[in-house]
Amino acid sequence: MSKAGSPAWHSACFLCVQEDIGCLVMLREWALRREREQATPVGACTTPQRHSDPSVRDPMIQFESVTLAYGRGESAVQALDKTSIKIGEGDFVALVGPSGCGKSTILKLIGGLISATTGYVFVAGREIGAEDVRIGMAFQNPTLLPWLTVRQNVMLPLKIVQPFRADWTRKRKTDYRDRAEALLAQVGLSGFGDKHPWQLSGGMQQRASLCRALIHDPTLLLLDEPFGALDQFTREELWAVLQELWLTRKPTVILVTHDLRESAFLANRIVVMSARPGRVIEDETVPFERPRTIAMTYDAGFVALNQRLRSLIVEVRAGNEVSLGAAA
């Protein structure tokens, strides 16, 4: 049976649109274990198990020496090299690094869309796929469905993800609608629920896309350059929106971004990766208090952090070895 026709895929939990190809893809339901024998490349771990590091109190995400190669043989592309990361529950981590260093690959591994070639990926203390974890995703392209209204787009995950799906018919006109309206209001889109996506600006569409990523109360929010296509002012407005959403809901967030100012404004930690094959070369705690403001991004400490990370990335882009407090 093909993977797409397997029971795991039939119970897909969340519709999203992949930015680069613009087509709909399905993330499978987290409660169901993937059919590993079919999907796992040679050498990958196939038995779900609890991580063994006693010093870690079940981080939400843990990578243990993960490597990832796309394809096999001579045409294989080594995307990740012995990558180890720990991310605690409720944390906000930014992933930065040169283009092609494996940032999106890390999100795909966490999402269970691909499996590690070697090493282990744990989510909620269990190997990926073994635990029921709700995930929300947003990409550079807002990817709203044009034939649905903004409210219908935002409510879409409730139609697909359990336990909301079971109550869909009964609740759709009341609770779920209220839920969507409350989120839309929180991101400044009150009164736009009945509009269609094409009636909204790019920034407004991205706000709606954030609402869609959050409507089913995800434990994990995976954001792949969500503000990359927006102008500077809109982007800064949305940083404040995302900060507010995180402060009120506290999901674990992993944000892939090329914008160091954005990473230092939003994240608690900035993980810097080397050029491909990517590995973690720096794991920086962001010390600035919250709520952060745009004015703070011009403070000396903030600018100094940005400059230091920028020179680090310039170094790794040039292919130079760096050894600045490298993470495990």
Ligand X SMILES: Nc1ncnc2c1ncn2[C@@H]1O[C@H](COP(=O)(O)OP(=O)(O)O)[C@@H](O)[C@H]1O
Cβ distance to ligand X smaller for residue 80 or 215: 80
> β-strand 118-123 against 61-70: which pairing, if any?
antiparallel
Among 25, 77, 324, 328, binds ligand X (CB under 6 A): 77
Q: Contact 274/316 with Cβ under 8 angstroms?
A: yes
Rounded least distance, CB 241 to Mg ion, Å? 22
Spatial distance between the Cα atoms of 135 and 86, rounded to a whole number of angstroms: 18
CB closer to Mg ion out of 103 and 235? 103
Distance CA(93)–CA(83), nearest Å, equals 15
Which CA distances in Å does 186 have to 19, 138, 212, 326?
Answer: 25, 17, 13, 38
Is 253:93 a contact under the CB 8 Å cutoff? yes
Instruction: Work out the end-to-end distance of the chain between its first and last CA atoms, rounded to an integer number of angstroms.
Output: 40
Q: Which of ligand X, Mg ion, none lies near 100, with the C-beta cut-off 5 to 8 A by kind?
A: ligand X
* Bridge partners for 282 per DSSP: 272
71 CB-side CA count, 13 A: 7
What number of other Cβ atoms are within 10 A of residue 283's Cβ? 17
Which C-beta is closer to ligand X: that of 197 or that of 278? 278
Count of beta carbons in the 10 Å neighbourhood of residue 311: 12
- 271/61 Cα distance (integer angstroms): 14
Nearer to Mg ion, 19 or 237 (CB): 19
Q: How far apart are CA 270 and CA 136, in angstroms?
A: 20
Distance CA 320, CA 313 (A): 10
Identified binder of Mg ion from the candidate list 62, 67, 83, 104, rule CB under 5 A: 104
41 or 228, CB closer to Mg ion?
A: 228
* Distances 290 to 65, 131, 189, 193, 267 between C-alpha atoms, Å: 33, 32, 24, 30, 10
Q: Minimum distance between the CB of residue 104 and ligand X, rounded to whole angstroms?
A: 3
Least distance between Mg ion and beta carbon 46 (Å): 27
β-pairing, 126-127 vs 118-123, is antiparallel
Binding string, residues 257-286; x marks residues near ligand X by CB under 6 A: -------------------x----------
Total residues binding ligand X (CB under 6 A): 12
Closest CA to 71 of 25, 137, 117, 129: 117
Residue 70 binding partner per list Mg ion, ligand X, none, with a CB distance cut-off of 5 to 8 Å that depends on partner kind: ligand X
Give which of ligand X, Mg ion, none residue 101 binds (C-beta under 5 to 8 Å, depending on kind): ligand X
Contact (CB, 8 A) for 99 and 256: no
Stretch that binds Mg ion, among 51-59, 103-111, 171-179, 244-252 (CB under 5 A): 103-111
Which CB sits closer to Mg ion, 104 or 186? 104
Query: Which partner from the list ligand X, Mg ion, none does 276 bind, CB cut-off 5 to 8 Å by kind?
Result: ligand X
Nearest approach in angstroms of CB 224 to Mg ion is 6
Residues in 57-76 that interact with ligand X by CB under 6 A: 70-71
Nearest residue to Mg ion, by Cβ distance, number only: 104
Residues 111-130 contacting ligand X, CB under 6 A: none
Strand partners, 126: 123
Residue placing its CB nearer to ligand X in the complex, 16 or 200? 16
Q: In this complex, which beta carbon is closest to Mg ion, that of residue 97 or of residue 251?
A: 97
Q: How far is the CB of 67 from ligand X (least distance, A)?
A: 12
Write out the binding residues for ligand X, residues 93-112 only, by CB under 6 A. Answer: 99-105
Provide, rounded to whole angstroms, the least separation between the CB of residue 166 and Mg ion: 35
Q: Provide the binding-site residues for Mg ion, judged by CB under 5 A.
A: 104
Residues lying near ligand X in the complex (CB under 6 A) are found at 70-71, 77, 79, 99-105, 276
